[in-house]
Amino acid sequence: MKSGCNRNLSEVTEFILLGFRTPPKLQILLFLGFLLVYVVSVMGNISMIVVIKMDSRLQMPMYFFLRNLSYLDLCYSTVIAPITLANVLSNEKKISYRSCAVQFFFFALSVTTEGFLLAVMASGRFSAISSPLLCPGHTSSELCVQLVTGSYTCGCISAIVQTGFTSGLRFCGENRLDHFFCDVPALIKISCVDTFVNEVVLCILSALIITTTTTVILVSYAYILYSVLKIPPTHGRSRTFSTCGSHIAVVSLFYGTVFFTYAQPGAVSSPEESKVVAVFYTLVIPMLNPLIYSLRNRDVKDAVKRILHSK
């Protein structure tokens, strides 16, 4: 249990993001590495959004969901990367309390929404494979909008709850945050009051979200596997596996890193390991998503060719 203090939260008006403990000579390399990842992420996700928007053959439920996935990746990588890049080369590495709260809110909103959206995409793929003659018309545009809106609503509720509980933390003069962005586990560590309730809420909320979405994903892919195994090898079984492989790769990367950070905090033994894991779900995964979906998706590659040839 942490002891209380009489100082008010308003006394801490800013935090110092300690970031990565690297020698000064490596700071520029770290900056260039993060910059490259962020630029590729922005270009890749914007490209996916533009291609799906421009090509009439991609106006299907799966690509509507994929376009929203690119919006989310673009959003939460942009919430994290610019401040991280600025702090890598800065000596002060400061972020105001208000900016910290805003950063965490939009990060929690985007990440939680992405988790629900991945579950929606999994169920959508099952629907497409189990009833190929009914797709893409099987899932109406109205239902697609409702599913995406529901994902954003769940993300917003989660972000409000987490931000609300985190705003109740008190910091007795200690403002050095051992992370490269404002995240709840790091804020809990430097709080000077009892954080038991915050830790329980974080663990339960994270476990609930992860359990719900992964159950939908696992059940959907179990049915997909069952359906695909009934397809004769000469009737497109390998292509179906390839189509689903990209989504499985994205889901595995996303949930693998998020689970160990939030649903099982003790699995990450040190702040440095926590930062490395966080780099994957805040910067690397938003970069990989458009690359995985474009390189492993024949429809997207064909759409890019048509757009390029039309100019």
- The residues, ordered by sequence, that sit 6+ positions from 133 with a Cβ below 8 Å of its Cβ are none
Q: How confident is the model at residue 65 (pLDDT cuts 50, 70, 90)?
A: very high
Task: Specify the pLDDT at position 216.
Answer: 93
Structural domain span for residue 100: 14-298
Residue 310 lies in a domain: no
Q: What is the residue whose two structure tokens read 């914007």?
A: 46
What is the pLDDT, as a whole number, of residue 235? 56
Report, as an integer, the average pLDDT of 64-93: 93
Mean pLDDT across the stretch 195-213?
91
User: What's the pLDDT score for residue 89?
Assistant: 87
5 belongs to a structural domain: no
- Average pLDDT of the chain is 85
Q: What is the CATH number of the domain that holds 217?
A: 1.20.1070.10
Query: How confident is the model over 197-215, as a mean pLDDT?
Result: 91
User: Is 311 a member of any domain?
Assistant: no
| Res 35: pLDDT | 97
CA distance 55 to 126: 24
In a domain, 36, yes or no: yes
Average pLDDT for 76-91:
93
pLDDT at 8: 45
Residue 139 lies in a domain: yes
In the prediction, which pLDDT does 31 show? 95
- Asked, for residue 211, whether it belongs to a domain, the answer is yes
> What's the number of domains the chain is made of?
1
Please check the confidence at residue 184 and state whether its pLDDT lies above 50: yes
In a domain, 303, yes or no: no
Best-predicted range by mean pLDDT (149-153, 234-238, 281-285, 290-294) = 149-153
> Can you give the pLDDT at residue 273?
84
Q: Which of 279, 247, 285, 276 lies closest to 44 in space, CA to CA? A: 285
Query: Average of pLDDT values for 224-238?
Result: 71
pLDDT band, very low/low/confident/very high, at 311 (cuts 50, 70, 90):
low
Residue 133 has a pLDDT of 45
Distance CA 56, CA 179 (A): 44
Domain membership flag for residue 8: no
* Gyration radius (Cα) of the chain, Å: 21
H-only helix segments in the chain: 24-54, 61-89, 97-130, 141-166, 184-190, 196-229, 237-258, 271-279, 285-295, 298-309
